[in-house]
Structure 1
């Protein structure tokens, strides 16, 4: 030990100081180090580290952007299939509990339970549309006429009302607005074409949605497990668990959005009925459908009620209707959305706004409708894969979607040999697989088939 080294236990923590005569000068050490570098290493040292890091990040960001652009292009090209598939998944999330209840309580086979669920839903929807269809169709025509007349009266009130805005100024604003519309007519037309589809595409998408919905209800778990078993064995468990969390999030979003839309439509509809406005039922349905577009949907559709009040009665009634619409929006935005939607999807309002804007620019109205649930599912899956479980109860919930915990590999093994007669016994088979000894750790699961 050197004389300069500290005595005792500190000598094991603090190395002895070398004598000055043995130390190499920094310049000499750097020269010796650089002489040992190859030509490639010397060239690398010629580029500063921040520049190399920025270049590494740049090409990775470009690769991600190219992949995202390719996915967006494929979605636009195959939008009929993609939209039909996503709609079928959203409907399956809502109807799967009904199909499961028919299987477990009434002991119906899976095929029959899925058929009864699908046909029952269609019968309810067609019945409601038949009951209210005539008044709704006629009501929407009258709504369009009254909204147009209300806009004309609003312009007149701005010109002659207490605000004192001259008619020339109002006309200048209108001319500027129409000028902007004409200047961007190509963009508006292309956006309208992107948001609407032909009758053939609507029928095709509807048939695809019903077809996919039937099989999602009948054997959705097996379809998912088929995708899971394409992954490497060591990754299957995490992918399966992430998918289950995404499905739970999607179900929470769908149910919560229906409740929020129902609250908006009832609030604005009751306000219109109390004020004695006509066309209350079409207004209520319009607000209910518009509420599925987050942030702006109910406000835009509620403004139609304000225009109807302006035409049917007077400015005072229109102002009261406007206050009712704003009050409903405040209750939704400050109470319902944070309480219900926050617990269901845990998305920040900024993320919701950006998702809606991006979805609208890509796929029009359908993009605005589907952007938030897709963003919510992606957020849940990515967080779970990075160690943050938004649904920790799913780890121990025996009745969760996707099968009981610890039964994935037994279910995959059984799915290879499944027959038509076996498809009604998924839960029983999963129970038996746990009873006879399902592997508990990832290494054992990855090593092969579960022990029996």
Structure 2
């Protein structure tokens, strides 16, 4: 009697057990998503810092080299904060106090321009602007109070940062030994392939970090030059802000340009604003079409669509830090997949030229008449 084979109770129990284990494992991974994210970020930081650590390690003990690099990591942000935050606090206070005056300046400019005056008469733009500007001092209050709320968020992140730095220090000091010790338990051929993937991934991450820092440095230096020529206040802090925001893929440069554009509204409107907008658009075209593609091509060789997807995923899962490490993480995954495809002998099909038409499918022979 035909029919489907009835699974044995043992097979059913095995299937149920495997399903339960998979569900439980996924749930545990979900619960541990934050520390796992910290470990991934620490791994990429360790790769990024391995260059200076290895360089210093040639002349001193590796532990001392790691300590020197860490001191540099602490001194640089503290120094930048000492330069950047006081002018920002003063600037926000000044903006709150002088907002009505700035609104009147914009209103006078609109009244002097016939076309803008007509638009203003139809939509009451300047009246609404002056009304909102009058409320701004009360809304902003003291800039120190506003920034203290930001400081609370930073304090809440200190534990995460310290944990990541501790993980990174351990990986810098002993990570290579851990990897080699683990590879000894694998077959020689498999260990060789895994080590090759890790080396290529480390090279891609290091190249990407160096390229991203160079790109951000160019953006910061050129922006400082433009802002200084225009006479925009707080040129140095704004240039530092652009440097850090430019490290964020896709949106960082645009966000920085918009922030600086808002500042130029209160410098010499509209001349400074127009010059800055033109410069920002021109530079972003150069960065997006010349500088960034060269960096990505040499460092990670990854499709632009995958860059967008990886940044969205990384930013959603781990915030700004996730967006920062998303591209090198995607590059590492791509390297691993290529190695796996090479191991399995998987090759892409050769593309057909447009002039070559695909062959006709074989037609079934017509049945002969009886």
1:225 is matched with which residue?
180
Structure 1 residues 165 and 117 mapped into 2: Cα distance closer, same or farther (>3 Å)?
farther
Counting only pairs closer than 5 Å after superposition, residues 136-285 of structure 1 correspond to structure 2 as 136-142=84-90, 144=92, 162-163=115-116, 165-166=119-120, 168=123, 202-229=157-184, 231=186, 234-285=189-240
Offset, 1:117: 2.3
Structure 1 residues 297 and 236 mapped into 2: Cα distance closer, same or farther (>3 Å)?
same
1:430 is matched with which residue?
none
Q: Contact between 1:146 and 1:307, CA under 8 Å: does it hold in 2?
A: no
State how far apart, in whole Å, the 2-side matches of 1:222 and 1:268 are: 44
State how far apart, in whole Å, the 1-side matches of 2:237 and 2:281 are: 19
State how far apart, in whole Å, the 1-side matches of 2:331 and 2:95 are: 35
2:340 is matched with which residue?
385
Consecutive unaligned residues of structure 1, counting only runs of 5 or more, are 1-36, 42-62, 175-194, 389-452
1:122 is matched with which residue?
70
1:288 is matched with which residue?
243
Counting only pairs closer than 5 Å after superposition, residues 339-418 of structure 1 correspond to structure 2 as 339-387=294-342
State how far apart, in whole Å, the 2-side matches of 1:147 and 1:348 are: 43
2:53 aligned to which of 95, 99, 117: 99
2:135 is matched with which residue?
none
Offset, 1:286: 0.8
1:300 is matched with which residue?
255
Offset, 1:346: 1.0
Offset, 1:139: 2.2
State how far apart, in whole Å, the 1-side matches of 2:54 and 2:171 are: 12
Consecutive unaligned residues of structure 2, counting only runs of 5 or more, are 6-18, 130-149, 344-370
Q: Kindly provide the CA deviation profile for residues 123-161 of structure 1, in whole angstroms up to 9, marking residues without a partner as x.
A: 3344444544333111233455678859x8599679866
State how far apart, in whole Å, the 2-side matches of 1:239 and 1:147 are: 56
1:134 matched to 2:82? The reply is yes
Offset, 1:204: 2.4
State how far apart, in whole Å, the 1-side matches of 2:325 and 2:261 are: 28
| SS in structure 2 of the partner of residue 311 of structure 1 | coil
| SS in structure 2 of the partner of residue 314 of structure 1 | coil
State how far apart, in whole Å, the 2-side matches of 1:204 and 1:267 are: 35
Counting only pairs closer than 5 Å after superposition, residues 53-132 of structure 1 correspond to structure 2 as 70=26, 74=29, 77-79=32-34, 81-104=35-58, 106=59, 108=60, 112-113=61-62, 115-132=63-80
State how far apart, in whole Å, the 2-side matches of 1:223 and 1:98 are: 21
Q: Contact between 1:91 and 1:213, CA under 8 Å: does it hold in 2?
A: yes
| SS in structure 2 of the partner of residue 387 of structure 1 | helix
Offset, 1:233: 5.3
TM-score by length of 2: 0.68
Q: Contact between 2:57 and 2:65, CA under 8 Å: does it hold in 1?
A: no
State how far apart, in whole Å, the 1-side matches of 2:246 and 2:151 are: 19
State how far apart, in whole Å, the 2-side matches of 1:372 and 1:169 are: 46
2:282 aligned to which of 318, 327, 331: 327
| SS in structure 1 of the partner of residue 157 of structure 2 | helix
Offset, 1:315: 0.8
Aligned residue-pair number: 298
Q: Contact between 2:53 and 2:69, CA under 8 Å: does it hold in 1?
A: no
Offset, 1:332: 0.8
State how far apart, in whole Å, the 1-side matches of 2:276 and 2:104 are: 14
Structure 1 residues 350 and 154 mapped into 2: Cα distance closer, same or farther (>3 Å)?
farther
Please say which structure displays the higher CA radius of gyration. Answer: 1
Q: Contact between 2:41 and 2:321, CA under 8 Å: does it hold in 1?
A: no
State how far apart, in whole Å, the 1-side matches of 2:151 and 2:189 are: 44
State how far apart, in whole Å, the 1-side matches of 2:169 and 2:233 are: 40
Offset, 1:350: 1.7
Q: Contact between 1:268 and 1:302, CA under 8 Å: does it hold in 2?
A: no
State the superposition RMSD in angstroms: 3.8
Q: Kindly provide the CA deviation profile for residues 406-432 of structure 1, in whole angstroms up to 9, marking residues without a partner as x.
A: xxxxxxxxxxxxxxxxxxxxxxxxxxx
Offset, 1:259: 0.9
State how far apart, in whole Å, the 2-side matches of 1:239 and 1:123 are: 33
